Structure 1
Amino acid sequence: MFRTLRLATYASLLTLGGLAASASAAELKVVASFSIIADFAKNVGGYRAEIATLVPVDGDAHVYEPRPADAAALEQADVVLTNGLQFEGFMSRLIETSGTKAPVIEVSKGIEPLKAAEEEGAQHESEEHATAENGHDHGHEGHHHHGEFDPHAWQSIHNAKIYVKNIADAFCQADKAGCATYAANSEAYLAKLGELEAEVKAAIDAIPQDKRTIITSHDAFGYFEHDYGLKFIAPESISTEAEASAADVARLVDQVKEEKASAIFVESITNPRLIEQIAGETGLKVGGTLYSDALSGEDGPAATYIDMFRYNVNTIKAAILGS
């Protein structure tokens, strides 16, 4: 039923537990808004759930434009999974257009959201009040777009565990006969996330305190910073829709020099040109690509959430320590 929805992406997502070969065994038809949530859903749903995703792997949910096939997918879904926190600006219109009767689950429910203005990693935040008083716009469109909270809550593994529990609860409600399966699958996956969190903390502990400031394309790592002790600064705000101005870039270059940032990275969903410009002006070498808002394809380094987190941490550590 979902074969009209981005066939290539669909085929890459429906692989857990032999689902691609036995989709007829699925009891639950699920639509996830983007690839990270789809991966959580696959781990919880196993063979009982048929998972489709709207924003494809390597896609940017900030600027995604829905297609007619997306509305058709929602119409036929048993469960719709979204991040919430105003991350998917396109979803409310799409849900209304589709006429879906499926429950729409915001999987971030229950986390402690970070206020956008409290993210110390965003260089433009310290000037928010001055900006408002002066009536000048320094690229804050993203805050208007997303509201007062940072929506990138999956960048905390603690929060990812809450996402998984919410998905398991939603699946149990929609398919009570499969609840034992969903509970067992979620417990097994939560154990893996616990192991990942210990691994991440050990990797960050190996980085000296005075080398933990890094630069990324847009402000997507506030929860990572909050939980794991790295400091992220970015030329673009919460949303990739908001382009950094020349003044933003100049301030960031000054901040990089003042705080002695250790590394700079592009993100998989953004144009590398701005980061390459900043690298050139600060003398930093681009340390690689980080995955923030989307997974990679199956042949990439971030094909699952666990792969993504491990890859990001190892890439950051290698760029800072030179190993």
Structure 2
Amino acid sequence: MKLSRIAAAGALLMALAAVPIAAPAAAQSTPGGAETRLPVVASFSILGDLVKNVGGDRVAVSTLVGADGDAHVFQPAPADAKKVAAAKVVFVNGLGFEGWMDRLVKSSGTKATMMVVSKGVEAREMEEEGHAHEAGKEAHAGHDHEETDPHAWQSVGNAEIYVANIRDGLIAADPDGKATYEANASAYLEKLKALDTEIKAAVARIPADKRRVITSHDAFGYYGAAYGLEFIAPQGVSTEAEASAKDVARIIRQIKAEKIPAVFLENISDPRLIKRIADETGAKIGGTVFSDALSDDKGPAATYIDMMQNNIREFSAALSS
């Protein structure tokens, strides 16, 4: 298995190296020869939406992992190397989320500034084995290895930190746009503050003894810590590793013992595991929530704000009934 992965990685690097990389474009012209736009790249769809809200008409945003895509298992293609090569700024989540990014940047030869938007976030650390499923739970002392949870955007407060970092990154790359980026960020932060209040009010209406949620992988730890829900998942913080039979059996026992009312599908995950858990426990499937990616433009989570509103609606409907 390891050899096949190494071979696959080697083939990818060779493919990327063979792609003719254009020199980074200074900007892209808007219709009518108006003001030029700053070419930037965002690593995944949720981050791309945040960058668009701050950058507005001054930026041209390309996203690597698109709608309903799983960044944990993403494999860059030669076209992605071209996007990165042409960028002035590349925005990444950090916290170990984009394990493929260093290879892609090296292969692209880009001169872009790398901006880690989670800078300043208080990272959630958890056990790699026997995952710390409880919201906000720290790894126990004495374990040799801890895993950082990268899904910090699931707390709106953390998304506000992302927005401030995006604003500063755009200003550094395009000082002439400072006033625009500051105004856009300020307006968007007001929307995020209202969203945060909306989620807290919705959770407060859920009976305290029903605030437990089963999801496919452990992507909602920051959400739980911020809003007072407990999330339990058969998979860890990455979808790359399959859930063990032991973890699945433990969760089935817990659902039955604690009478957890609902389990939720994720847009990026194979639904079969959650459906099996629902069948074996009698818990109802509460609906689809969005963890690591937005929906397409026609879906219920086309933007970050839409995504967070969709998720709290799904949680509220299933847990309040």
TM-score of the superposition, structure 2-length normalised? 0.85
Instruction: Indicate the residue corresponding to 1:136 in structure 2.
Output: none
Separation in 2, partners of 1:261, 1:312: 18
Aligned residues: 289
8 Å CA contact 1:26, 1:50 repeated in 2: no
Work out whether 1:77 is the aligned partner of 2:87: yes
What is the DSSP-based 3-state SS (H/G/I as helix, E as strand, rest coil) of the residue aligned with 1:72?
A: helix
Instruction: Indicate the residue corresponding to 1:210 in structure 2.
Output: 209
Q: 2:147 is aligned with what amino acid?
A: E
Separation in 2, partners of 1:241, 1:194: 33
Instruction: Indicate the residue corresponding to 1:262 in structure 2.
Output: 261
Q: 5 Å matches for 1:164-183?
A: 164-183=163-182
Work out whether 1:39 is the aligned partner of 2:49: yes
Q: Displacement of 1:263 after TM fit?
A: 1.3
Separation in 1, partners of 2:318, 2:90: 38
Separation in 2, partners of 1:196, 1:300: 19
Separation in 2, partners of 1:197, 1:295: 18
Q: 1:206 is aligned with what amino acid?
A: R
Q: 5 Å matches for 1:216-235?
A: 216-235=215-234
Work out whether 1:275 is the aligned partner of 2:285: no
> Alignment identity in percent?
55
Work out whether 1:62 is the aligned partner of 2:72: yes
What is the DSSP-based 3-state SS (H/G/I as helix, E as strand, rest coil) of the residue aligned with 1:51?
A: strand
Separation in 2, partners of 1:157, 1:57: 20
Instruction: Indicate the residue corresponding to 1:6 in structure 2.
Output: none
Instruction: Indicate the residue corresponding to 2:37 in structure 1.
Output: 27
Q: Displacement of 1:23 after TM fit?
A: 9.4
8 Å CA contact 2:30, 2:36 repeated in 1: no
Q: When you count strand as a share of all residues, which structure comes out higher?
A: 2
8 Å CA contact 1:212, 1:231 repeated in 2: yes
Q: 5 Å matches for 1:1-323?
A: 25-117=35-127, 119-121=132-134, 148-322=147-321
What is the DSSP-based 3-state SS (H/G/I as helix, E as strand, rest coil) of the residue aligned with 2:217?
A: coil
8 Å CA contact 1:236, 1:244 repeated in 2: yes
8 Å CA contact 1:26, 1:47 repeated in 2: no
1:64-99 deviations in whole A, cap 9, x for unaligned?
000001111111101000000010111010011111
Q: Displacement of 1:148 after TM fit?
A: 2.6
8 Å CA contact 2:126, 2:139 repeated in 1: no
Q: Which moved more, 1:198-207 or 1:257-266?
A: 257-266
Q: 2:93 is aligned with what amino acid?
A: N
Structure 2, unpaired ranges of 5+: 1-28
Q: Displacement of 1:255 after TM fit?
A: 1.4
Q: Displacement of 1:258 after TM fit?
A: 2.2
Distance 1:310 1:22, change over 3 A: farther
8 Å CA contact 2:134, 2:232 repeated in 1: yes
TM-score of the superposition, structure 1-length normalised? 0.85
8 Å CA contact 2:38, 2:60 repeated in 1: yes
1:220-252 deviations in whole A, cap 9, x for unaligned?
000001000000000111100110122211111
Separation in 1, partners of 2:111, 2:160: 27
**Cα RMSD over matched residues?**
2.3
Separation in 2, partners of 1:250, 1:66: 35
Separation in 2, partners of 1:188, 1:306: 13
Instruction: Indicate the residue corresponding to 2:26 in structure 1.
Output: none
Distance 1:173 1:272, change over 3 A: same
8 Å CA contact 1:75, 1:100 repeated in 2: yes
Q: Displacement of 1:127 after TM fit?
A: 9.6
Distance 1:246 1:127, change over 3 A: farther
8 Å CA contact 1:121, 1:219 repeated in 2: no
Q: Displacement of 1:119 after TM fit?
A: 3.8
